[in-house]
């Protein structure tokens, strides 16, 4: 007997990488092996030297195919088996190892927008729906669009064993969010990429496209982010390390913002629950700050912080690496 392994990897498209996948049929009992692909079709290699290598890094049951079939998230290597330049996971692996004693944990809030016929789901042809105000966590056909897809995606993630902590309808019609975590930097990032693939794949069944565009509609419509909640063991036990983490992030604000997803200046405008991308601030309960300290955390004098800057299209391997490095190097 055989089973199917869907190998998923991140391509080399700039400035925002895309997900690719293909299927390998394996004998029952066989582990998913190293595999290869044509890097010249994924912006990862020239045509005359096109082979790239896939190395499995995370696998889970495939909720789409069911049975014994699996999803296999793979990192991309060159044929010398060193990390490909497009492989951002390898650098995170080093940083996560270096700061493992600090026990960093991340919870990622992935916002996204459904599109159909070239416009967000729920937008009328050639016009705009009623202004924002009732869509966030709304109910009813006049307020929410795509709930069946969202529910199917949530069930699929849970069947796959991913640590999804919740979902909600967002501020713009057709816009939604799911949260992954809290988990270690590598685990949360592997699971987010897998959950993104499942989102695209499930929405395909409904003939709808899911997009991580950080500003899908210009004007008075919320963008889409990937708020990144973060703590170390020390932050989970006391308040001084929380303030120190905010200060450390402030000292490297430019480097972080430049690596938090393409088009970030269109989203971090200082409007729509964001802080201006050129400025850094942190505050308790402040959804207009770069970093929010949740009210409960200020109350308990321990917990975590929320970096509100990362775009929906950010690479979690890059975001969690930068935050871990910046905060843990300052606190050790
Ligand atoms: P918001 O109020 O900003 O919409 P959400 O409920 O969407 O918040 O997301 C909060 C996230 O914070 C969840 O993903 C959760 O897993 C994460 N989280 C909770 N506690 C911690 C912690 N100690 N460290 C890191 N992340 C945490
Ligand atoms: Mn949220
Ligand atoms: Mn949100
Ligand atoms: Mn948030």
Ligand 1 in contact with 120 (CB < 6 A)? Answer: no
Tokens of 114: 């459904």
Chain position carrying tokens 């693939």: 197
Residue 134 has a CB neighbour count (10 Å cut-off) of 15
Angstrom CA distances, 140 to 117, 137, 221, stand at 22, 10, 20
Ligand nearest to the CA of 165: 1
> Across the strands, what pairs with 75?
55
pLDDT of residue 251: 97
pLDDT of residue 49: 83
CA–CA separation, 110 vs 193, rounded Å?
A: 10
Q: Please, which residues have CB less than 5 A from ligand 3, an ion? A: 177
pTM of the model as a whole: 0.97
Ligand 1 in contact with 109 (CB < 6 A)? Answer: yes
pLDDT, tens digit, 9 for 90 and up, residues 65-74: 999 999 999 9
CA of 303 to the centre of ligand 3 (A): 19
CA of 58 to the centre of ligand 1 (A): 23
- Nearest residue by C-alpha to atom 8 in ligand 1: 109
pLDDT, tens digit, 9 for 90 and up, residues 272-329: 889 999 999 999 999 899 999 999 999 999 999 999 999 999 999 999 999 999 999 9
Ligand 1 in contact with 304 (CB < 6 A)? Answer: yes
Mean pLDDT by 10 residues, the chain (332 residues): 98 97 97 96 88 97 98 97 97 98 98 97 94 94 96 98 98 97 98 98 98 95 97 98 97 98 96 92 95 97 98 98 97 64
CA–CA separation, 322 vs 60, rounded Å?
A: 27
Complete domains list, the chain, with CATH? 2-89 (3.10.20.70), 101-331 (3.30.590.10)
- Nearest residue by C-alpha to atom 18 in ligand 1: 107
pLDDT of residue 332: 54
Q: What is the DSSP string of 242-264?
A: HHHHHHHHHHTHHHHHHTS-TTH
Torsion sign, CA atoms 266, 269, 273, 274: positive
Ligand 1 in contact with 176 (CB < 6 A)? Answer: no
């Amino acid at each position: 007997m055989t089973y199917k392994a869907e190998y998923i990897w991140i391509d080399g498209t700039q400035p925002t990488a895309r997900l690719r996948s293909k299927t390998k049929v394996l004998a029952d009992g066989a582990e998913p092996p190293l595999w290869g692909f044509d890097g010249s079709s994924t912006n990862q290699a020239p045509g005359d030297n096109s082979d790239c290598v896939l190395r499995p890094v995370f696998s889970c049951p495939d909720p789409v195919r069911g049975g014994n079939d699996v999803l296999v998230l793979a990192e991309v290597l060159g044929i010398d088996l060193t990390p490909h330049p497009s492989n951002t996971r390898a650098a995170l692996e080093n940083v996560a190892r270096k700061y493992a004693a600090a026990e960093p944990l991340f919870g990622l809030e992935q916002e996204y927008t459904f599109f159909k016929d070239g416009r967000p789901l729920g937008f009328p042809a050639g016009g705009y729906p009623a202004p924002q105000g009732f869509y966030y966590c709304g109910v009813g056909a006049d307020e929410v669009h795509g709930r069946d897809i969202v529910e199917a995606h949530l069930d699929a993630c849970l069947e796959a064993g991913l640590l999804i902590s919740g979902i909600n309808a967002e501020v713009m019609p057709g816009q939604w969010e799911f949260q992954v975590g809290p988990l270690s930097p590598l685990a949360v990032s592997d699971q987010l990429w897998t959950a993104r693939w499942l989102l695209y794949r499930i929405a395909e069944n409904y003939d709808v496209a899911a997009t991580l565009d950080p500003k899908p509609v210009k004007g008075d419509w919320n963008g889409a982010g990937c708020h990144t909640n973060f703590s170390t063991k020390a932050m989970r036990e006391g308040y001084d390390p929380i303030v120190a983490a905010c200060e450390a992030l402030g000292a490297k604000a430019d480097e972080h913002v430049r690596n938090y997803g393409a088009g970030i200046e269109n989203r971090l405008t200082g409007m729509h629950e964001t802080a201006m991308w050129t400025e850094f601030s942190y505050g308790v309960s402040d959804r207009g700050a770069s970093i929010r300290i949740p009210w409960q955390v200020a109350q308990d004098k321990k917990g975590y912080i929320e970096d509100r800057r990362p775009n929906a299209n950010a690479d979690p391997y890059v975001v969690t690496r930068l935050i871990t490095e910046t905060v843990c190097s300052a606190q050790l």
